[in-house]
């Protein structure tokens, strides 16, 4: 009996340590390395991050403006997600060569396509500069050395300003597209499956980074050579199974794990419901138009996906917060904290100060979010502003402004404008409603509908031809321009409400207090788009009562979903043929008793937006997958991570190799990779 009680107590204590939570700074990973090794990691902290010698960090890059990528050859070959390369692939596509739909496979270096505007950053080093900042050195002084060395540098706040870190980057701009699967693989499941497990998406694309003869960043030139990274990842083709150690190395952008209940309540009960409702209306309008007209379906595909992505995430987040009882848990935690802080003058006031600050900040922060989801989404207004600026610069509007209208339908936009302005009316407290907007509506029709019709009937921004014919003065006083001005928000919006300076100043002290008080808790700084390490293991989970989800998906699942009549599930014929012939070559294996090809897997790593494209690494430091998503009921991991349900989703590297080899016929690419 005693043993049983002990076992139960131990169980609870271990659960209390909250295994797998955390996004750790690579330079400080030494503090986690024992735990990592206990869970199956075989290498050292120096292998993960080192300033003096090549380490894994040299194989990981910040890709574009919001993703992660990793080198897999000594010739600058880089893997990331298809949805991360999407913009670049779209830019290179045209009706005659639609690489999004058909995929793209460079069969030689000469066929690789330069991606204008795309960049890749390597972290050279990171440094805790808290003491220097405290001693009065300015950020510019601190960054100077790195900049003199030819690097770019930024200083980021950790723990709400308790620590400052310098990040030094090398930025490469000659990045070329090497390969992309057709969207029917790279985006298989589309928005229907987005944020969902089981998942069957081959979400990868391949690029190559080029450098000058000295292996340093250089502008695009035919003379440039493939970049030789100090380290690239070896690839394991052995596969994964439940319980295997996994590590994610990448650039998560935004979490808020330490916020008090006020902030969670705001997210779950105010902000998310408002944003979800407003986006539902926009999505309905776009979907209806897409069903009517195939041209609109294409024009609005990326916009729809963009709006739907966060919309779905917020719904899952709200569900997750409710299911975990995060608000109540936080309140209980705060009560305990308050009891501890009561006799400490420097901390006793904290919660009251924070409540008060939130009461002030949430009013304007809410308005900022409401603006962002309504008036600021009206494309005509944004275009009027761009055209107005252009008119000031050029006598004749350059032809390339026609591009503004390629993915634009004025009727859809008009309907959207009516919906968001009505939504704004609904969600805006009467005393905050802009007088200028009321006056405009009063002057032009009296109702939102009439006002919007007036704008769209009279604006010069509704087509390239009209804009080209308009005078500077006409553009200046364009009714869409006026609406644009009404919706300029005069306050800076922050990553989260809690990062607004009025609240953040209290968090600086609160974090200090928490670390003194909650000795059991393993603290890591919130994600802020700096390089992090997360680790966990491959694991299924109980999705709902009695419904267990296996951690591995396979080609059989793709075939089950395959349906030529459903856009999101219409796979390329070649994949059907390969399946029919069970012609899997070296990529076939038995999974749960069936001969098939593994496709994706879930694990308990703590990830966030920005971790897309991150390498998933096994205990030996080898690449086993590419991270691309989370399950939607676990997206509250940005606020509270629960290892029992939070899962990141990765494409199995063997599916990536299978697609390159069997679908793309680009097996030659595997030769430069290090396959184990």
| Min CB(62)–ligand ARG separation in Å | 15
629 scored as a contact of ligand ARG (CB under 6 A): yes
Rounded Cα–Cα distance for residues 446 and 668 (Å): 66
Beta strand ranges found along 149-235 (DSSP E)? 152-158, 163-172, 174-180, 205-211, 225-226
Choosing from 20, 191, 203, 413, which is the catalytic residue? 203
For residues 437 and 424, what is the distance between their CA atoms, to the nearest angstrom? 11
Question: Which lies closer to ligand ARG via its Cβ, residue 70 or residue 629?
Answer: 629
Tokens for 676?
């184990």
Does residue 608 belong to the site contacting ligand ASP (CB under 6 A)? yes
Stretch that binds ligand ARG, among 72-80, 187-195, 209-217, 523-531 (CB under 6 A): 187-195
Cα(659)–Cα(676) distance, integer angstroms? 18
User: Which of ligand ARG, ligand ASP, none interacts with 611 (beta carbon under 5 to 8 A by kind)?
Assistant: ligand ASP
**Residues sharing a CB contact under 8 Å with residue 344, sequence separation 6 or more, in sequence order:** 513
Helix (H) or strand (E) holding 458: helix 448-458
Q: Closer to ligand ASP by CB, 195 or 365: give it.
A: 195
Number of neighbours of residue 343 by Cβ within 10 angstroms: 8
The length of the chain in residues reads 676
**Which of ligand ARG, ligand ASP, none binds 440 (CB below 5-8 Å, type-dependent)?**
none
Nearer to ligand ARG, 478 or 629 (CB): 629
- Is 205 among the residues that bind ligand ASP (CB under 6 A)? no
Taking CB under 6 A as the rule, does residue 55 contact ligand ASP?
no
Minimal distance, residue 664 CB to ligand ARG, in Å: 21
Q: Which of residues 618-647 bind ligand ASP (CB under 6 A)?
A: 628-630
Query: In terms of CB distance, is 638 or 661 closer to ligand ASP?
Result: 638
Contacted entry of ligand ASP, ligand ARG, none for residue 607, CB cut-off 5 to 8 Å set by kind: ligand ASP
Kindly determine how many residues on this chain lie close enough to bind ligand ASP according to the rule CB under 6 A.
9
Instruction: Look up 200 and say whether it is catalytic.
Output: no
Tokens 């991270």 identify what position?
A: 627
Extract the tokens encoding 229: 């990274």
Query: How far lies 283's CA from each of 184, 412, 421, 487, in Å?
Result: 22, 11, 15, 21
Handedness of CA 70, 76, 81, 84 (dihedral sign): positive
Q: Give yes or no for residue 64 binding ligand ARG (CB under 6 A).
A: no
Q: Output the 3-class SS for 487-546.
A: CCCCCCCCCCHHHCHHHHHHHHHHHHHHHHHCCCCCCCCCCCCCCEEEEEEECCEEEECC
Check binding of 317 to ligand ARG (CB under 6 A). Answer: no
Asked about 83 being catalytic, the answer comes back as yes
**x-or-dash pattern for ligand ASP, window 63-82, by CB under 6 A?**
--------------------
Among 32, 39, 57, 83, binds ligand ARG (CB under 6 A): 83
Marked catalytic residue, from 183, 612, 637, 650: 612
347 binds ligand ARG, rule: CB under 6 A: no
- Find the helix or strand (DSSP H, E) in which 310 lies: helix 301-324
Indicate which of ligand ASP, ligand ARG, none lies near residue 190 (CB less than 5 to 8 Å, by partner kind).
Answer: ligand ARG
The answer to whether 250 contacts ligand ARG (rule: CB under 6 A) is no
| Residue 194 touches which member of ligand ASP, ligand ARG, none, C-beta under 5-8 Å by kind | ligand ARG
Q: How many other C-beta atoms are found inside a 10 Å radius of the C-beta of residue 656?
A: 23
The backbone torsions φ and ψ at residue 537, rounded to the nearest 5 degrees and listed phi first, read -150, 160
- Does residue 553 touch ligand ASP according to CB under 6 A? no
Residue 449 annotated as catalytic: no
Interface mask (CB under 6 A) for ligand ARG, residues 578-617, using x and -?
Answer: -------------------------------x--x-----
Q: List CB contacts of 400: < 8 A, sequence separation 6 or more.
A: none
Cis peptide before 198 (omega within 30 of 0): yes
Query: Is residue 607 a contact point for ligand ASP (CB under 6 A)?
Result: yes
Give the tokens for residue 657: 């190799």
176 counts as binding ligand ARG under rule CB under 6 A: no
Q: How distant, in Å, are the alpha carbons of 186, 369, 608 from that of 528?
A: 27, 20, 10
Quickly list DSSP for 610-647: T-TT-EEE-TTS-EEEEEEEE-GGGGGGGT---TTT--
Q: What are the residues binding ligand ARG (CB under 6 A)?
A: 83, 190-191, 194-195, 305, 309, 609, 612, 629
Residues with active-site annotation: 83, 203, 612
- Binding stretches for ligand ASP (CB under 6 A): 607-612, 628-630
């Amino acid at each position: 009996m005693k043993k049983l009680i002990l076992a139960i107590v131990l169980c609870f204590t271990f659960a209390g340590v909250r295994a797998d939570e955390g996004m750790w700074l690579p330079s400080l990973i030494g503090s986690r390395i024992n735990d990592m090794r206990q869970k199956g990691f075989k290498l050292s902290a120096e292998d993960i991050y080192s300033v003096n010698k090549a380490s894994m960090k040299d194989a990981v890059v910040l890709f574009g403006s919001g993703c992660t990528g990793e080198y897999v050859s000594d010739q600058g070959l880089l893997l990331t997600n298809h949805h991360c390369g999407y913009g670049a692939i779209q830019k290179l596509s045209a009706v005659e060569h639609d690489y999004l739909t058909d995929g793209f496979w460079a069969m030689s270096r000469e066929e690789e396509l330069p991606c204008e505007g795309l960049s890749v950053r390597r972290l050279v080093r990171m440094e805790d500069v808290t003491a220097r900042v405290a001693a009065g050195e300015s950020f510019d002084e601190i960054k100077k050395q790195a900049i003199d060395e030819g690097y770019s540098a930024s200083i980021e706040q950790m723990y709400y300003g308790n620590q400052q870190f310098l990040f030094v980057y090398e930025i490469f701009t000659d990045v070329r597209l090497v390969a992309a699967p057709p969207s029917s693989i790279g985006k298989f499941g589309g928005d229907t499956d987005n944020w969902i497990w089981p998942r069957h998406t081959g979400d990868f694309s391949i690029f190559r980074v080029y450098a000058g003869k000295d292996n340093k960043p250089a502008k695009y030139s035919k003379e440039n050579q493939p970049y030789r990274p100090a380290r690239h990842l070896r690839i394991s083709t052995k596969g994964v199974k439940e319980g295997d150690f996994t590590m994610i190395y990448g650039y998560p952008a935004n979490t808020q794990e330490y916020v008090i209940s006020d902030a969670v309540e705001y997210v779950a009960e105010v902000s998310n419901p408002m944003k979800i409702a407003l986006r539902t209306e926009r999505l309905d309008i776009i979907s209806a138009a897409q069903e009517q007209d195939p041209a609109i379906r294409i024009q609005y595909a990326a916009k729809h996906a963009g709006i739907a992505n966060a919309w779905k995430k917020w719904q899952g987040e709200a569900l997750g917060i409710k299911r975990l009882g995060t608000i109540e848990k936080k309140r209980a935690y705060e009560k305990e904290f308050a009891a501890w802080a009561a006799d400490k003058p420097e901390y006793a006031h904290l919660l009251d100060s924070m409540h008060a600050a939130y009461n002030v900040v949430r009013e304007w922060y809410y308005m900022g979010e409401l603006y962002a989801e309504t008036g600021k989404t009206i494309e005509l207004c944004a275009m009027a502003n761009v055209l107005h600026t252009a008119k000031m610069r050029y006598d004749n509007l350059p032809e390339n402004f026609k591009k503004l209208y390629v993915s634009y339908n004025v009727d859809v936009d008009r309907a959207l404008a009516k919906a968001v302005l009505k939504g704004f009316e609904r969600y805006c407290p009467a005393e905050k409603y802009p007088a200028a907007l009321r006056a405009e509506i009063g002057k032009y029709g009296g109702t939102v509908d009439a006002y919007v019709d007036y704008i769209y009937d009279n604006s010069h921004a509704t087509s390239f031809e009209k804009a080209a014919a308009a005078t500077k003065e006409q553009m200046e006083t364009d009714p869409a321009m006026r609406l644009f001005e009404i919706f300029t928000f005069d306050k800076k919006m922050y990553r989260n409400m809690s990062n607004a300076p009025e609240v953040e100043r209290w968090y600086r002290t609160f974090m200090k207090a928490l670390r003194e008080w909650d000795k059991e808790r393993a603290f890591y700084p919130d994600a802020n788009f700096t390089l992090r390490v997360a680790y966990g293991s491959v694991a299924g989970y109980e999705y709902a009562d009695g419904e267990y989800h296996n951690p591995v998906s396979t080609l059989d699942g793709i075939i089950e979903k395959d349906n030529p009549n459903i856009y999101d599930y219409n796979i390329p014929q070649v994949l059907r043929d390969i399946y029919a012939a069970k012609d899997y070559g070296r990529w076939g294996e038995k999974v749960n008793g069936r001969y098939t090809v593994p496709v994706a897997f879930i694990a308990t790593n703590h990830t966030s937006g920005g971790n897309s494209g991150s390498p998933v690494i096994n205990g030996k430091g080898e690449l086993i997958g590419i991270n691309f998503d989370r399950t939607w009921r676990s997206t509250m991991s940005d606020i509270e991570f629960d290892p029992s349900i939070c899962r990141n989703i990765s494409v199995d590297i063997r599916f990536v190799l299978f697609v390159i080899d069997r679908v793309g016929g680009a097996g030659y690419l595997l030769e430069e990779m290090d396959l184990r």
